[in-house]
Amino acid sequence: MRAFALALLMAAPAYAQEAPAGASTCLGCHSPVRSDAAIPTLRGRDAAAVAAAMREFREGRRPATVMDRLARGFTEEESQAIAAWIVR
């Protein structure tokens, strides 16, 4: 997992600099540039809606394949910080 995160950090140095902890890993799946990708981009979304989705994934109230497990790795405060950053 560490190598995975490191590879993503190296792939996105411009984001890694200002990103809250864990946020740059999101970009490995949610591309900030490709709007036609299978996994939707989060750029341009409403930050509160992204944080709410993370909360629902974390609490098992939203169907998921991977996001439930990912979301459980973050607290509510961390999710909000990531959400605010990733929608920019």
Can you say whether residue 44 is alpha, beta or left, with left for phi > 0 and alpha for psi between -120 and 50 degrees? left
> C-beta of 30: minimal distance to ligand HEC in Å?
5
d(CA 77, CA 69): 17
Contact flag: residue 86 with ligand HEC (CB under 6 A): yes
Contacts with ligand HEC: how many residues (CB under 6 A)? 19
Q: How many CB atoms lie within 10 A of CB 14?
A: 9
Question: By CB under 6 A, what part of segment 47-66 binds ligand HEC?
Answer: 50, 53-54, 64-66
d(CA 88, CA 72): 23
Please identify which residue in 6, 10, 18, 40 interacts with ligand HEC, judged by CB under 6 A.
40
Please identify which residue in 7, 11, 21, 39 interacts with ligand HEC, judged by CB under 6 A.
39
